[in-house]
Amino acid sequence: MTSPPATPTVDYAPKNRGGLDSGSRGIARSLTKLGFVISDVLAEAKDKMDKALEAAKEDFSTVRTGRANPLLFQKILVDYYGTPTPLGQLASMNNPEARMLVVTPYDKSALKEIEKAIVAAPNLGANVGNDGEIVRVTLPEMTEERRREFVKLVRDKGEQAKVSLRNVRRNSKDGLDALKAEVGEDDLARAEKELDALTKAHVDAIDDALKRKEAELLEV
Protein backbone atom coordinates (compact mmCIF):
# COMPACT_ATOMS: atom_id res chain seq x y z
CA MET A 1 0.00 0.00 0.00
CA THR A 2 1.37 3.35 -1.02
CA SER A 3 1.96 5.81 1.82
CA PRO A 4 0.26 9.21 1.49
CA PRO A 5 2.56 12.05 0.50
CA ALA A 6 4.16 13.85 3.40
CA THR A 7 2.42 17.06 4.40
CA PRO A 8 4.73 20.01 3.69
CA THR A 9 5.92 21.85 6.76
CA VAL A 10 4.86 25.50 6.85
CA ASP A 11 6.85 27.94 9.02
CA TYR A 12 4.34 30.44 10.42
CA ALA A 13 6.97 32.39 12.40
CA PRO A 14 7.16 36.00 11.15
CA LYS A 15 10.19 36.73 9.07
CA ASN A 16 12.56 39.54 10.03
CA ARG A 17 12.33 41.53 6.81
CA GLY A 18 14.81 44.29 7.50
CA GLY A 19 13.46 44.86 11.03
CA LEU A 20 15.36 44.89 14.32
CA ASP A 21 16.12 41.73 16.21
CA SER A 22 15.45 41.71 19.96
CA GLY A 23 18.98 42.87 20.78
CA SER A 24 18.79 45.79 18.33
CA ARG A 25 15.36 46.79 19.62
CA GLY A 26 16.82 46.91 23.13
CA ILE A 27 19.60 49.20 21.96
CA ALA A 28 17.09 51.44 20.16
CA ARG A 29 14.98 51.72 23.30
CA SER A 30 18.07 52.61 25.32
CA LEU A 31 19.07 55.31 22.84
CA THR A 32 15.54 56.72 22.87
CA LYS A 33 15.59 56.74 26.66
CA LEU A 34 18.92 58.57 26.67
CA GLY A 35 17.45 61.11 24.26
CA PHE A 36 14.70 61.73 26.78
CA VAL A 37 17.27 62.06 29.56
CA ILE A 38 19.12 64.80 27.63
CA SER A 39 15.81 66.55 26.94
CA ASP A 40 14.88 66.31 30.60
CA VAL A 41 18.17 67.92 31.67
CA LEU A 42 17.62 70.82 29.27
CA ALA A 43 13.94 71.20 30.17
CA GLU A 44 14.77 71.33 33.87
CA ALA A 45 17.50 73.92 33.19
CA LYS A 46 15.03 76.10 31.27
CA ASP A 47 12.42 75.85 34.02
CA LYS A 48 14.92 76.88 36.71
CA MET A 49 16.30 79.72 34.58
CA ASP A 50 12.79 81.00 33.87
CA LYS A 51 12.11 81.09 37.60
CA ALA A 52 15.40 82.90 38.28
CA LEU A 53 14.50 85.51 35.65
CA GLU A 54 11.02 86.08 37.10
CA ALA A 55 12.47 86.34 40.60
CA ALA A 56 14.94 88.98 39.36
CA LYS A 57 12.17 91.03 37.75
CA GLU A 58 10.12 90.89 40.94
CA ASP A 59 13.20 91.86 42.93
CA PHE A 60 13.76 94.89 40.68
CA SER A 61 10.15 95.96 41.23
CA THR A 62 10.73 96.24 45.00
CA VAL A 63 13.22 99.10 44.46
CA ARG A 64 11.43 102.42 44.41
CA THR A 65 11.72 104.89 41.57
CA GLY A 66 10.44 108.45 41.47
CA ARG A 67 6.91 107.10 41.07
CA ALA A 68 4.59 105.38 43.55
CA ASN A 69 4.32 102.15 41.59
CA PRO A 70 1.85 99.72 43.27
CA LEU A 71 4.24 96.86 42.47
CA LEU A 72 6.61 98.39 44.98
CA PHE A 73 4.09 97.73 47.77
CA GLN A 74 2.57 94.41 46.72
CA LYS A 75 4.86 92.21 48.82
CA ILE A 76 5.14 94.37 51.94
CA LEU A 77 4.23 91.99 54.76
CA VAL A 78 1.43 93.07 57.07
CA ASP A 79 0.67 91.46 60.43
CA TYR A 80 -2.88 90.29 59.71
CA TYR A 81 -4.28 88.55 62.78
CA GLY A 82 -0.84 87.22 63.62
CA THR A 83 -0.01 86.04 60.08
CA PRO A 84 2.48 87.93 57.88
CA THR A 85 0.43 88.61 54.73
CA PRO A 86 1.46 90.42 51.51
CA LEU A 87 -0.23 93.80 51.23
CA GLY A 88 -1.44 92.92 47.74
CA GLN A 89 -3.76 90.32 49.30
CA LEU A 90 -5.23 92.77 51.81
CA ALA A 91 -5.94 95.92 49.81
CA SER A 92 -6.39 97.50 46.42
CA MET A 93 -3.90 100.17 45.38
CA ASN A 94 -3.91 103.02 42.91
CA ASN A 95 -1.80 106.12 42.40
CA PRO A 96 -3.81 109.26 41.59
CA GLU A 97 -0.55 111.21 41.38
CA ALA A 98 2.97 110.23 40.37
CA ARG A 99 4.33 110.10 43.93
CA MET A 100 1.11 109.25 45.76
CA LEU A 101 -0.44 105.86 46.45
CA VAL A 102 -3.91 105.27 47.89
CA VAL A 103 -4.31 101.94 49.69
CA THR A 104 -7.87 100.75 50.30
CA PRO A 105 -8.07 97.77 52.70
CA TYR A 106 -10.62 95.05 52.00
CA ASP A 107 -10.92 94.69 55.79
CA LYS A 108 -10.92 98.06 57.55
CA SER A 109 -9.73 96.43 60.78
CA ALA A 110 -6.34 95.94 59.06
CA LEU A 111 -5.92 99.68 58.45
CA LYS A 112 -3.52 100.37 61.32
CA GLU A 113 -1.35 97.32 60.63
CA ILE A 114 -1.15 98.22 56.95
CA GLU A 115 -0.04 101.74 57.84
CA LYS A 116 2.56 100.38 60.28
CA ALA A 117 3.98 97.94 57.71
CA ILE A 118 4.38 100.64 55.05
CA VAL A 119 6.12 102.97 57.51
CA ALA A 120 8.55 100.17 58.41
CA ALA A 121 9.28 99.16 54.80
CA PRO A 122 12.97 99.72 53.92
CA ASN A 123 14.13 102.19 51.26
CA LEU A 124 10.80 104.02 51.10
CA GLY A 125 11.00 106.94 53.51
CA ALA A 126 7.34 107.62 52.73
CA ASN A 127 4.92 109.95 54.45
CA VAL A 128 2.03 107.71 55.54
CA GLY A 129 -1.35 108.52 57.09
CA ASN A 130 -4.90 107.20 57.22
CA ASP A 131 -8.33 108.79 57.51
CA GLY A 132 -10.07 105.73 58.94
CA GLU A 133 -10.96 104.43 55.48
CA ILE A 134 -7.80 104.48 53.38
CA VAL A 135 -4.05 104.75 53.80
CA ARG A 136 -2.46 107.57 51.82
CA VAL A 137 1.24 107.21 50.97
CA THR A 138 3.36 110.03 49.58
CA LEU A 139 6.90 109.35 48.42
CA PRO A 140 9.46 112.13 48.81
CA GLU A 141 11.39 113.50 45.87
CA MET A 142 14.47 111.44 45.15
CA THR A 143 17.82 113.19 45.18
CA GLU A 144 20.41 112.46 42.51
CA GLU A 145 22.55 110.71 45.12
CA ARG A 146 19.63 108.51 46.17
CA ARG A 147 18.91 107.56 42.57
CA ARG A 148 22.52 106.50 42.08
CA GLU A 149 22.37 104.41 45.26
CA PHE A 150 19.30 102.59 43.97
CA VAL A 151 20.95 102.01 40.57
CA LYS A 152 23.83 100.34 42.39
CA LEU A 153 21.33 98.28 44.39
CA VAL A 154 19.52 96.93 41.32
CA ARG A 155 22.83 96.17 39.61
CA ASP A 156 23.79 94.07 42.61
CA LYS A 157 20.44 92.30 42.40
CA GLY A 158 21.02 91.69 38.69
CA GLU A 159 24.44 90.18 39.36
CA GLN A 160 22.94 87.87 42.00
CA ALA A 161 20.38 86.70 39.44
CA LYS A 162 23.15 85.96 36.93
CA VAL A 163 24.99 83.94 39.57
CA SER A 164 21.81 81.87 39.97
CA LEU A 165 21.73 81.28 36.21
CA ARG A 166 25.38 80.24 36.16
CA ASN A 167 24.72 77.81 39.00
CA VAL A 168 21.86 76.24 37.04
CA ARG A 169 24.10 75.96 33.97
CA ARG A 170 26.90 74.32 35.95
CA ASN A 171 24.57 71.76 37.54
CA SER A 172 22.97 70.98 34.18
CA LYS A 173 26.39 70.62 32.56
CA ASP A 174 27.31 68.13 35.30
CA GLY A 175 24.13 66.22 34.46
CA LEU A 176 25.09 66.05 30.79
CA ASP A 177 28.67 65.05 31.60
CA ALA A 178 27.33 62.13 33.60
CA LEU A 179 25.94 60.71 30.32
CA LYS A 180 29.29 60.76 28.49
CA ALA A 181 29.80 57.01 28.74
CA GLU A 182 26.47 56.31 27.01
CA VAL A 183 25.81 59.25 24.70
CA GLY A 184 27.62 60.06 21.50
CA GLU A 185 29.99 63.01 21.53
CA ASP A 186 27.99 64.80 18.82
CA ASP A 187 24.74 64.52 20.79
CA LEU A 188 26.46 65.76 23.92
CA ALA A 189 28.09 68.66 22.09
CA ARG A 190 24.71 69.72 20.65
CA ALA A 191 23.11 69.57 24.08
CA GLU A 192 25.87 71.69 25.61
CA LYS A 193 25.49 74.30 22.84
CA GLU A 194 21.75 74.41 23.51
CA LEU A 195 22.42 74.84 27.22
CA ASP A 196 24.84 77.71 26.51
CA ALA A 197 22.29 79.40 24.23
CA LEU A 198 19.63 79.01 26.90
CA THR A 199 21.89 80.58 29.51
CA LYS A 200 22.80 83.51 27.24
CA ALA A 201 19.15 84.21 26.43
CA HIS A 202 18.29 84.46 30.13
CA VAL A 203 21.34 86.58 30.95
CA ASP A 204 20.35 88.96 28.12
CA ALA A 205 16.79 89.12 29.48
CA ILE A 206 18.10 90.09 32.92
CA ASP A 207 20.30 92.77 31.34
CA ASP A 208 17.28 94.16 29.44
CA ALA A 209 15.15 94.28 32.61
CA LEU A 210 18.03 95.92 34.45
CA LYS A 211 18.41 98.62 31.78
CA ARG A 212 14.69 99.42 31.97
CA LYS A 213 14.84 99.68 35.75
CA GLU A 214 17.91 101.93 35.64
CA ALA A 215 16.13 104.21 33.15
CA GLU A 216 13.14 104.45 35.52
CA LEU A 217 15.42 105.27 38.46
CA LEU A 218 17.26 108.00 36.61
CA GLU A 219 14.10 109.54 35.13
CA VAL A 220 13.48 112.97 36.67
Q: Where are the alpha helices (DSSP H) in the chain?
A: 22-61, 111-120, 144-177, 185-218
Q: Are 134 and 104 in contact (CB under 8 A)?
A: yes
pLDDT tens for the chain, residues 1 to 220:
444 444 333 332 333 434 334 443 333 344 344 556 889 999 999 999 999 999 999 888 878 777 778 888 988 999 999 999 999 999 999 988 888 999 999 999 999 999 999 999 877 778 899 999 999 999 888 788 888 888 999 999 999 999 999 999 999 999 999 888 888 888 899 999 999 999 999 999 999 999 999 998 887 6
Question: Which pTM value belongs to this model?
Answer: 0.66
Choose the CATH number for 70-138 among 3.30.310.10, 3.50.50.60, 3.30.1360.40, 2.40.110.10: 3.30.1360.40
Among the listed residues 11, 71, 25, 94, the one whose alpha carbon sits nearest the alpha carbon of residue 212? 71
Judging by beta carbons within 10 Å of its beta carbon (0-12, 13-18, 19+), is residue 142 exposed, middle or buried?
A: buried
Q: Report, at the CATH architecture level, how domain 30-62+143-218 is classified.
A: Orthogonal Bundle (1.10)
HSE value, Cβ hemisphere, 13 Å, CA-based, for 64: 23
| Domain residue ranges of the chain, discontinuous segments joined by + | 30-62+143-218, 70-138
